[in-house]
Amino acid sequence: MMAYMLRRVAYALPILIGVNLITFALFFVVNSPDDMARMQLGDKRVTEEAIDTWKAEHGYDQPLFINAQAGGLGVLTQTIFFQKSLKLFAFDFGASDSGRDIGNDIAQRMWPSLAIAVPVLLLGLALNISYALMIIFFRATYVDVGSVVLLVAMMSISSLFYIIGGQFLIGKLLHLVPISGYDTGFEAIKFLILPVIVSVIAGIGTGTRLYRTFFLEEINRDYVRTARAKGLPERVVLFRHVLRNALIPILTGVVAVLPLLFMGALITESFFGVPGLGSYTIDAISRQDFAIVRAMVFLGSVLYILGLILTDISYTLVDPRVRLS
Amino acid sequence: MSLSLGLSGCGDGAWNNPYPASEARAKTVYSAFTEQPKHLDPVRAYSSNEYAFIGQVYEPPLQYHFLKRPYTLVPLTSTAMPEVRYFDAEGAPLPDSAPADQIALSEYRIRLRPGIHYQPHPALARDATGASYLYHHLTPADLRGIEDLGDFAQQGTRELIAEDYVYQIKRLAAPWLHSPIAGLMKKHLLDFAELSERLAEAAPAPVDGVRPFVDLRTVPFRGAEVLDRYSYRIHIKGRYPQFQYWLAMLFFSPMPWEAEAFYAQPGLSERNITLDWYPLGTGAFMLSENNPNLRMVLERNPHFHGETYPSEGMAQDRAAGLLEDAGQPLPLIDKAIYALEKESIPYWNKFLQGYYDSSGIASDAFDQAIQFSAAGDAELTEPLREQGIRLATAVNTSIWYMGFNMLDPILGGDSERARLLRRAITIAVDFGEYISIFANGRALQAQGMIPPGIFGYQEGRAGLNPYIFDWHQGRAERKSIAAARALLAEAGYPDGRDPDTGRPLTLYYEAMDAGPDGKARLNWMRKQFNKLGIELVVRATDYNRFQDKMREGTGQIFMWGWNADYPDPENFFFLLYGPNAKVDGGENAFNYRNPDFDRLFERMRVMDDGPERQALIDAMTEILRRDGPVAFGFFPKAYSLYHQWVGNVKPNLMANNTLKYRRLDPQQRAEQRVAWNPPVLWPLGLLVLLLLLGALPAWQMARRRERSRAL
Amino acid sequence: MLVVLWTDALIFVLIAVVLGFAFHATRHPHLRVPWQQVGRSRVAAGALVVLSVYVAIGLLDSVHFHPRLEAQTPAVGEASQETPTYSTQVISLLDLWLQPLREQEEKTFSAPFATHLFVKEAMEQPDGSVIRAYPRLEHGGAHLTDPARDRAPDILLSTLLGLVQGLIAWTGFLLMVLGLSAWRARESFAQRVLQLRQEPTQAAWRVAVWTLLVMLVLGFIAAELAVKYHILGTDKVGEDVFYQSLKSIRTGLVIGTLTTLVMLPAAVILGIMAGYFRGLTDDIIQYLYTTLNSIPGVLLIAAAILMLQVYMANHGDEFNSLVERADLRLLFLCIILGVTSWTGLCRLLRGESLKLREADYVQAAIALGVRHSRLIARHILPNVLHIVMITLVLDFSGLVLAEAVLSYVNIGVDPTMNSWGNMINSARLELARDPIVWWSLAAAFGFMFTLVLAANLLADVVRDAFDPRLRGTA
């Protein structure tokens, strides 16, 4: 187990380097350091001189990947890429281009993201599983057919409609919760209700349909037939056998996305004015703050790889036949 | 879910109140910011969303009078307006009437009011003896448990002195602070460029990204000198009458050296405790909570120097109730909370629900808010009037225009052909329609560069642009498309066809429009050119790329705006001054260069307001109208809405410290909020009922199924 | 003068591929049988009819040309008469067909079937006074003398007319198809009709026929009404929303299909190679897709779109019309969406090839020394085709929906292009108006929902038919 973990971590390194390379290449093709400097210095009365000092100050005055002028190892190390990447691997994100400390901001904005993502995940899971179970219970009746049509219809609606509609209905017409905003502590609850409800509803279509297929797969297995032949009531068959076995693919799927919960939901957060990591990333892209984008991409890939590892481990836990190798 | 609903539902407030119920009756103004301010250091801040905060905190020597129009400068921390004296090249004093070309040096003397104190701040905290500063030698151990500025136990204050102002002017020259006006000040302030160089050499290198404290007090500087504890003088090269406006801008506010010494200590910047985030000033408010991810809070400065509400204003101000608070000590409110609100729709809805005190009007909410009376005046719609909302309007000191790149081979240049082509296009692009579609009539069609309220603006027939408009029944009326087509034919493009190819002339429009309205705007622009038979290709891109094109001078047609720094015609005409061309690094995006215009501009800018200056401005405007490098677009009007509980509202587009005049009736606000936001519950009940009804047959079926299986 | 845009060309390539594949499928039972199963499904039949209407409109909109200009006013030309001059504008067959809709523009918003503008305007009265009122539309209902009285009867009449036309067209079409099939099957016409009406195996056909009736009737009614009114209203600058919705169909279809087409070669080749060769090849390919996968997709897309803008800014002269610029951006969007979405398919194919490689017949072929390329083409590729197909169909609706979200973040299609995403994006502000402007949003919603719903329903049937694990369960 230990050896496996070590190997996975070692395997993650080249991936992270690759991710970093791509981020750098993409970002610098579109955004020269000059652009970044102008963005930060504002657009009234900016001189070339000011731009040069800004670049020097923020370490953007070196070549991107290869420094032909430097000698020896300096060819690789005295470059923007090397200088800026090295610290990332120590999770030292440094200051954003506008001067704020990124690590500090991430630590602060992580909580609102989690406050939305975790309830959405749990509620969504509970709702989708119970709905899917119900459909299975009533399979081949009008409930089944009607539900499947409903689910497909729900899937076919753009997530934007859910958000716009939810805000309009619950917030504006019914005056039940604040339309947008956020606060710390328990005050946050009233702000979370709307985005959580909207996100859960938006996820029903895809989620329930997926779980329904998982259940369908199980229900045609031999052991289920045997159980039924023994005369067990349908309820017991569903809960004791079908649900328990179908939970394996469901939960392993959930494990894979667990780490990514930190990253937050991009659109939901910016629509509801929640200061989470999702809106942080969107803002950074639109403000072209490369330091933040780089940090978020790095963090995202680390979490993604973590998700992969967790999935592998969870497989061994539920199915002892699978060995980590 | 129902539990949490119940939790937030109890108490006396409305369910959808985004603020804690305990704060409902405090004298707190609620507002919002859409974008994180980037810089709160007065050396760097240069945009309105930053000024909204630090304008309340920092105090330059002068300010704009809250009520008087046209905009008038009055002393803020100084005892009187600065004394200006002129000297020739030998240093001999000159009379005020001396011609501008003889003046080699101007001296501004400013005397401060004694007894003004800074806000409480740890940087100014002293130990028990008062001999040394408590927090100027922080060790890592001292910083344990410090998360933001409020975590420092002790705070102190001290009196404002002339040295603080001089200190800040020196900071403007410091190359590592990147002041946006450093380039401009090099031209005008004596010794400024040299100071900048001296500082670049003398300054120590940053350690771990933090630059060690450089005590600028010891650096000599002839441009700004301390005369005594309360007075200082500034030396300007030649004559530069616009300088007094700069003295009302935050770049020239005081900065105590202690602030820099404090913030430069290692360990603070990684906690985001920097001068760029935590201002330290003498103003009516201080920034007590600074969380750009969530909210910014301004709180009354306990040491504020007892400024009172102005007792004189314009004639109609008394009737409008704007003078009722005359003589009251400022500020009139205790606190202002700015929440982060990125989308305009939630903001507007929360305003209508009473959770924001004031609001601009997004173009799309306009019909909901404003209607025009039969006489064409804007007034509020019935539902809003019932809510007791009031409207304040003012013409912005800014202009939107469509520009032509004069370096372009087709559109640019001094030839008669190009001039006619530009004129035909200018007639065709109907900004009147643009205003009615995209700004709901909230703008004034421009006839020249200078907006109303600024010296040089001509009203009515005298201000008509005769090349584009006709005077018809007491109104300016845009010339017809037929006239434009005739001009186009004269220019050699009959029906908009290029004579060489016989195909329609293709022109390029550099667009930076990407918002939700972008598509409509671009389509509208294409329709305008289609009227002439010209094919307009829109090159939509982002703002960076747009600026690149402007700098390289490769664009063709573009739309851009300018927001005045100060109310002087020079600040508009310099956009067309030849040596300022964008390709040479200036602000003249048209790359327009007309020697006659440039000569007139050089005379006009050093002149005091008067008939002679007006004549020059008229002559310059005529040149611009004839050459047509710019299609004067429109001067936007600012419409803002205020709830009934907000008082002392008069839009002042130059002053950025108006929060201190604001009055508030929190009692009324709390009552209205509850009255306007009754929770509507029956749809929820209906939903539950429907679910139950749907579940009933399913339940029966389940029973039946269970029984049949069991058999 | 014909213009072939990049996406046009690719669409025709796609059609060729689909036809080729169809031909291939008819000759291979393992592909033919599931498709026949799809064809027997009633849901699929209905969905297919709806989809083909969309595709037909999309195809009409994919043939572009420069319209010819009428000869210039006599003042200039003696020599220019011989060679015809063409406009610099690029329009499509659909534009030509919808000419009235395209050109009947109003000043600003007007509601569906409105005869007056949605906002008040200052109007000069004959006596010189100025009042603010709702002016009559220039085109919508302009033929009515008294809109308040004449509008309802006029709309009713046009609807009836459209209904009758639709019925006639439907009957004609049906007669033709039935006659043709009767002739081919050498049966009598009456027999054929009876079969269609009664035989259970023909249930799918019945659904298709009825769906067709609905589509035809709706189409003819819309055609009757659209020339007289703005049946879905007009937008902020007075463009017909119905026209915009129809034009958006192509954008949606292109994003949904070309994206898959673009990523297909890479996903198939790399996926199979990774599974088949294993070892170092596998490692490299896995590294490649894990790396790409771990970068948030939004960022990749944003960067690619910005990159394109830089390119176009530097090569401004190469894109002389708006349509070409917008088209290139659309293509770029497809490519970059492909880059972010090929990894899923690639991983599936890798797993499947790993399994297939161990199959006896493949092992035998390897032992016999068959060349790798031949082996892959003969034994591996045909056996993973069903996975490719399922992914293709399943991805389609997701991509159409993604376009809307991307436009919201401003990294979608060109802002001047007609697309549902752009319509929804502008509708955000319209919703805050009072009285509310709902028709743009509703139109985009309706058109998009229909397409995605049809695609999802079809995808369900296709997956059930091809996925061996699920065959016969649902």
Taking an 8 Å cut-off on Cβ atoms, the answer to whether A217 and C310 are in contact is no
Same domain, C220 and C273: no
Res. B515 pLDDT band, cuts 50 70 90:
low
Report the C-alpha dihedral over residues C107, C111, C112, C115, rounded to 10 degrees: -70
Residue C415 in any domain: the answer is: yes
pLDDT digits (tens, 9 = 90+) for C85-128: 777 778 889 988 888 888 888 888 888 988 888 877 777 777 76
Taking an 8 Å cut-off on Cβ atoms, the answer to whether A273 and B705 are in contact is no
Q: Which residue of B has its CA nearest to C437?
A: B364
CB-based contacts of B320, cutoff 8 Å, min separation 6: B650
Integer Cα distance of B568 and B576 in angstroms: 15
Residue C174's CB is within 10 A of a number of other CB atoms, namely 15
CB C133 within 8 A of CB B459: no
pLDDT of residue B1: 36
CB-based contacts of B126, cutoff 8 Å, min separation 6: B132, B133, B134, B156
Residue B547 has pLDDT above 50, yes or no: yes
More confident: C57 or B212: C57
Residue B171 has pLDDT above 80, yes or no: yes
CB-closest option in C108, C313, C416 to B545: C313
Q: Which residue of B has its CA nearest to A31?
A: B544
In 3-state terms chain B splits into helix, strand, coil percentages (rounded to 5) of 35, 20, 45
Same domain, C323 and C393: yes
Integer Cα distance of B635 and B562 in angstroms: 10
pLDDT digits (tens, 9 = 90+) for C38-85: 888 888 899 999 999 999 999 999 999 888 876 555 444 444 445 667
Calculate how close chain B gets to C236, using CA atoms only, in Å. Answer: 6
Please name every residue paired with B378 in a beta bridge, in sequence order, or none if there are none. B372
User: Which residue segment(s) compose the domain that C160 sits in?
Assistant: 147-226
The one-letter amino acid code at A277 reads L
Res. A44 pLDDT band, cuts 50 70 90:
low
Closest among C397, C308, C322, C393 to C5, alpha carbons compared: C322
In 3-state terms chain C splits into helix, strand, coil percentages (rounded to 5) of 70, 5, 25
For the segment C345-358, the average pLDDT, to the nearest whole number, is 87
Residue C102 in any domain: the answer is: no
Residues B92-122 as b/e (b if ≥16 CB within 10 A, e otherwise) read eebeeeeeeeebbbbbbebbbbeebbbbbbb
CB C134 within 8 A of CB C116: yes
Integer Cα distance of C347 and C286 in angstroms: 8
H or E element in which residue A257 lies: helix A244-257
Residues of B whose CB is below 8 A from A270: 342-343
Residues of C whose CB is below 8 A from A26: 299-300, 303-304, 307
Q: Which residue of C has its CA nearest to B438?
A: C236
CB-based contacts of C433, cutoff 8 Å, min separation 6: B364, B365, B366, B367, B368
Q: Using N-to-C axis directions, what is the helix angle for B416-428 and B481-490, rounded to 10°?
A: 160
Residue B709 has pLDDT above 70, yes or no: no
Query: What distance lies between CA A236 and its chain's CA centroid?
Result: 36
CB-closest option in A29, A155, A282 to C409: A282
Architecture per CATH, B405-638? Roll (3.10)
Mutation site, C72, C80, C88, C419, interface B, largest B CB count within 10 A: C88
Res. C194 pLDDT band, cuts 50 70 90:
confident
**Residue A101 φ/ψ, nearest 5 degrees:** -75, 125
Look-up: residue for tokens 């060349």? Answer: C371
Strand, helix or coil at B288? strand
Lowest-confidence segment of A16-20, B537-541, B621-625, C6-10 by average pLDDT: B537-541
For the segment A118-122, the average pLDDT, to the nearest whole number, is 92
Q: What percent of chain C has pLDDT over 90?
A: 17
Residue C336 in any domain: the answer is: yes
Residue C160 has pLDDT above 80, yes or no: yes
Same domain, C288 and C437: yes
Mutation site, C86, C121, C322, C406, interface B, largest B CB count within 10 A: C322
H or E element in which residue A76 lies: helix A74-77
pLDDT of residue B229: 94
Residue C410's CB is within 10 A of a number of other CB atoms, namely 17
More confident: C262 or B228: B228
Using CB atoms within 10 A of its CB, is residue B457 exposed (0-12), middle (13-18) or buried (19+)? buried
Integer Cα distance of B282 and B284 in angstroms: 7
Closest among B513, B526, B434, B403 to C321, alpha carbons compared: B526
Q: Would you call C431 an interface residue with chain B, using a CB distance cutoff of 8 Å?
A: yes
For the segment C294-303, the average pLDDT, to the nearest whole number, is 80
Integer Cα distance of C234 and B437 in angstroms: 13
Fold of A110-318: MetI-like fold (1.10.3720)
Residue B105 has pLDDT above 70, yes or no: yes
Q: What percent of chain A has pLDDT over 70?
A: 94
Residue C334 has pLDDT above 50, yes or no: yes
Same domain, C200 and C326: no
Please name every residue paired with B232 in a beta bridge, in sequence order, or none if there are none. B110, B226
pLDDT of residue A260: 77
Res. A43 pLDDT band, cuts 50 70 90:
low
pLDDT mean across residues, chain A: 81
Taking an 8 Å cut-off on Cβ atoms, the answer to whether A45 and B178 are in contact is no
CB-based contacts of A30, cutoff 8 Å, min separation 6: C303, C306, C307, C309, C310
CB C245 within 8 A of CB C450: no
Query: What distance lies between CA B213 and its chain's CA centroid?
Result: 31
Reported ipTM: 0.78
Residue B253's CB is within 10 A of a number of other CB atoms, namely 26
State the pTM of this model.
Answer: 0.81
Closest among A258, A291, A231, A278 to A83, alpha carbons compared: A291
Portion 266-305 of A in contact with C at CB < 8 A: 266-267, 281-282, 285-286, 293, 296-297, 300-301, 304-305
For the segment B393-408, the average pLDDT, to the nearest whole number, is 88
Look-up: residue for tokens 């009233």? Answer: A190
pLDDT of residue B9: 41
Same domain, C304 and C443: yes
Residue B545 has pLDDT above 80, yes or no: no
Q: Would you call C22 an interface residue with chain A, using a CB distance cutoff of 8 Å?
A: no
Residue A111's CB is within 10 A of a number of other CB atoms, namely 14
CB-closest option in A157, A160, A296 to C449: A157
Please name every residue paired with B445 in a beta bridge, in sequence order, or none if there are none. B634
Please report the number of interchain residue pairs, chain B to chain C, with beta-carbon separation below 8 angstroms. 136
Q: What angle do CA A32, A34, A40 make, to 5 degrees?
A: 110
Closest among B71, B51, B74 to B452, alpha carbons compared: B71
Look-up: residue for tokens 């399994």? Answer: C355
Calculate how close chain B gets to A176, using CA atoms only, in Å. Answer: 5
Calculate how close chain A gets to B284, using CA atoms only, in Å. Answer: 26
- Pull the structure tokens for residue B381: 């719609």
Calculate how close chain A gets to C466, using CA atoms only, in Å. Answer: 15
Integer Cα distance of C120 and A5 in angstroms: 70
Calculate how close chain B gets to A54, using CA atoms only, in Å. Answer: 7
The residue extents of the domains of chain A are 15-90, 110-318
Res. B127 pLDDT band, cuts 50 70 90:
confident
Lowest-confidence segment of A191-200, B376-385, C170-179 by average pLDDT: B376-385
Res. B626 pLDDT band, cuts 50 70 90:
very high
Q: What percent of chain A has pLDDT over 90?
A: 7
Residue C131 has pLDDT above 80, yes or no: no
Lowest-confidence segment of A98-102, B177-181, B285-289, B550-554 by average pLDDT: A98-102
Q: Any alpha helices (H) in B320-365, and if so which ranges?
A: 344-352
pLDDT digits (tens, 9 = 90+) for B574-610: 999 988 888 877 788 899 999 999 999 999 988 888 8
Residue B10 has pLDDT above 60, yes or no: no
Integer Cα distance of B540 and B560 in angstroms: 14
Pairing of β B73-75 and β B62-64 = antiparallel
Taking an 8 Å cut-off on Cβ atoms, the answer to whether C107 and B437 are in contact is yes
pLDDT of residue A319: 67
Integer Cα distance of B256 and B275 in angstroms: 11
Which DSSP symbol is given to C38?
H
CB-closest option in C85, C108, C320 to B506: C320
Strand, helix or coil at A65? coil
Residue A300 has pLDDT above 60, yes or no: yes
Integer Cα distance of A295 and C38 in angstroms: 48
Residues of B whose CB is below 8 A from A233: 706, 709-710
Res. B482 pLDDT band, cuts 50 70 90:
very high
Cα-only R_g, chain B: 30
Residue C442 in any domain: the answer is: yes
pLDDT of residue B280: 93
Integer Cα distance of C178 and C189 in angstroms: 7
Residue A324 has pLDDT above 70, yes or no: no
Residue C2 in any domain: the answer is: no
For the segment A215-244, the average pLDDT, to the nearest whole number, is 82
Integer Cα distance of A240 and C419 in angstroms: 49
- Pull the structure tokens for residue C207: 């659904």
Taking an 8 Å cut-off on Cβ atoms, the answer to whether B4 and A143 are in contact is no
Same domain, C430 and C375: yes
Res. A322 pLDDT band, cuts 50 70 90:
low
For the segment B280-293, the average pLDDT, to the nearest whole number, is 89
Strand, helix or coil at B36? coil
Q: What angle do CA B316, B322, B323 make, to 5 degrees?
A: 95
pLDDT of residue C434: 66
The one-letter amino acid code at B642 reads Y
CB B448 within 8 A of CB B440: no
Q: Using N-to-C axis directions, what is the helix angle for C241-277 and C439-466, rounded to 10°?
A: 30
Domain count, chain C: 2
Residues of A whose CB is below 8 A from C441: 164
Calculate how close chain B gets to C76, using CA atoms only, in Å. Answer: 8
Long-range contacts of the stretch C128-133 (C-beta < 8 A, 24+): C128/B473, C130/B374, C130/B376, C131/B374, C132/B371, C132/B372, C132/B373, C132/B374, C132/B376
Instruction: Tell me which chains share at least 3 CB pairs under 8 Å with chain C.
Output: A, B
Integer Cα distance of C144 and B700 in angstroms: 58
CB B521 within 8 A of CB B454: no
Taking an 8 Å cut-off on Cβ atoms, the answer to whether B526 and C322 are in contact is yes
**Residue B628 φ/ψ, nearest 5 degrees:** 60, 45
Integer Cα distance of B487 and B423 in angstroms: 8
pLDDT of residue B516: 66
Which DSSP symbol is given to B243?
H
Residue B81 has pLDDT above 50, yes or no: yes
- Pull the structure tokens for residue B179: 């002041």
Residue C35 in any domain: the answer is: no
pLDDT of residue C219: 92
Taking an 8 Å cut-off on Cβ atoms, the answer to whether C321 and B371 are in contact is no
Residue C469 has pLDDT above 60, yes or no: no
CB A297 within 8 A of CB A150: no
CB A248 within 8 A of CB A318: yes
Integer Cα distance of C356 and C385 in angstroms: 13
Residues of A whose CB is below 8 A from B182: 47, 50
Strand, helix or coil at B279? coil
